[in-house]
Amino acid sequence: MTEKINSVFEKVFSDSNLKTFEKIILFLATAGFIIHLVLILLNNKGYVDLSFFQGSLFVNPISAIYTPFSFILIYEAFLLIYYLPRSFTTSIAKQFEIMSLILIRKIFKDIPDVDLSDNWILNENNLQLIYDLTGVLIVFYLIYMFKKLKENLPKLPVHQNLERFLGYKRLISLLLIPTLIILCVFSFIEWYSAVFIGGEGSPNIDYLFFVEFFGILILVDVFILLISFQYTERYSQLIRNTGFIISTILLRLSFNAVGLTSIILLISGIVFGLIILYIYNKMERTSLVT
């Protein structure tokens, strides 16, 4: 059974498939950017009316960068599924990167809403941009620190049944592929229905799709944690994996918050994961010495 799962995994995530998917995403990102720019031009010239969308998404050309970033984020979500069988640490690092890209994408949408009047510091949109810019810098540095710690992970003895454990994780990755596709389709339908059918205006597209995606990731991480109990008895590793799940939950909670609270939850989630990894490294190195 394990050999069959590994064979299917290798075929689905082969180098040729990865390169093909990368080319498709690149084409869609480029086409989406051009189409977005054209829609902005048509809207500004009065040929179409897109005033019911959020903010200046179809007013300022800078906002057009939002669209290619959306396709890049889908590709990053796919890579997260690909990296999932490698290790908990690699998976959580990819989650941090996705959150940073979501934040950067949001900045491109919010920049056109900045008010440069005399009292600009009192404007809510201006403050949100300051929060997001500061958050990106902090998150970027924290990811750098996390990856640095990840590179210094001590080499531990491999469990004799590790291949079976990897087989389970590869099976989960394979099941997540259709899940990712279904989420993309349903998220688009939800957005389209709210904007063009429901008449209630555009939903918050900054976190569309990723709210459900990170919710599923939490369940997947818990499931992998439960499976890992069969293959390790090390207290430090169990605490590390549990800590990473808490970190993912904090990232998920940041979607439900607004303003500074959202940024604080995001940073708190990454800081928590960073501290967990730091303590884990210390404990494992101490156990190797003793």
Instruction: Determine contact, residues 250/265, Cβ cutoff 8 Å.
Output: yes
The token duo for 159 is 């469990």
pLDDT tens digit sequence for 64-76: 888 898 899 999 9
Number of domains in the chain: 1
Distance CA 269, CA 92 (A): 10
The answer to whether the beta carbons of residues 166 and 160 sit under 8 Å apart is no
pTM: 0.88
Task: Of 46-50, 156-160, 260-264, give the range with the top mean pLDDT.
Answer: 260-264
- Decide: 69 and 136 in contact? Cβ < 8 Å: no
Residue-number span of the structural domain to which 133 is assigned:
2-289
Question: Rounded mean pLDDT of 185-207?
Answer: 66
List the one residue out of 263, 257, 268 whose CA is nearest residue 131: 263
The beta strands (E) that lie in the chain are given as: none
Q: What is the pLDDT of residues 126-150, one digit of tens each?
A: 888 889 999 999 999 999 999 999 8
The model's pLDDT over 117-130, given as tens digits with 9 standing for 90+, comes to 767 777 788 888 88
